[in-house]
Structure 1
Amino acid sequence: MPAYIIANIDVTDPAAYEPYKEMAATCNRSHGSRYLARGGRVEVLEGDCDAKRIAIATPKVRPLHHGPVGRSIPGTALAA
């Protein structure tokens, strides 16, 4: 049974976000994960939300998150 990751992303530095996107995509591919949704327009029906959303399906979340590439990503993400 796959694990699902849903992330709300608030990009404050688009230039710093580009390396993060590449690192995350490489990490996801190497673990057999696939994007279910990313980018595009969001229609908010209630409340307010300006963050981007990404949904990922992955066979196993712990190796993805705790592997060598996964551990190197958070610092890059926080800079973006």
Structure 2
Amino acid sequence: MSALWIAHVKVTDEAAYGEYAKRATGAIADHGGVFLARGGAYEQLEGPDRPRNVVARFPSLQAAHDCYYSDAYQEALSFAKGASQRELSIVEEIA
């Protein structure tokens, strides 16, 4: 069963977050991930407003998990930690 990364982000440092995005894209692709949404228009209905919303599909829960804990993604993540407020979840896809 495929899985989704669902991220809600408020960027506070564009330059550092841009470096994260560049590096994370490669790590995600290396684990079979593809972006379904990456920024773009959105409507915040509940919870804290995070104007950047990202959804990536992975071939399995394990691939999504392995990507997050990979050395390449953790290196990328080091650029995002001081440059954003974010939530990230892995969700199993049912269809």
Give TM-score scaled by structure 2 length: 0.73
2:90 counterpart residue number: none
Gaps of 5+ in 2: 84-95
Q: Distance in 2 between matches of 1:66 and 1:44?
A: 29
Amino acid at match of 2:66: P
Corresponding residue SS for 1:10: strand
Amino acid at match of 2:38: R
Q: Where is the helix percentage greater, Structure 1 or Structure 2?
A: 1
1:9 counterpart residue number: 9
Amino acid at match of 1:34: V
Deviation for aligned residue 1:62 = 2.0
Q: Distance in 2 between matches of 1:76 and 1:40?
A: 22
RMSD: 1.7
Deviation for aligned residue 1:48 = 6.0
1:1-80 superposed matches below 5 A: 1-45=1-45, 49-59=49-59, 60-80=63-83
Q: Distance in 1 between matches of 2:79 and 2:29?
A: 18
Q: Where is the strand percentage greater, Structure 1 or Structure 2?
A: 2
Identity value in percent? 32
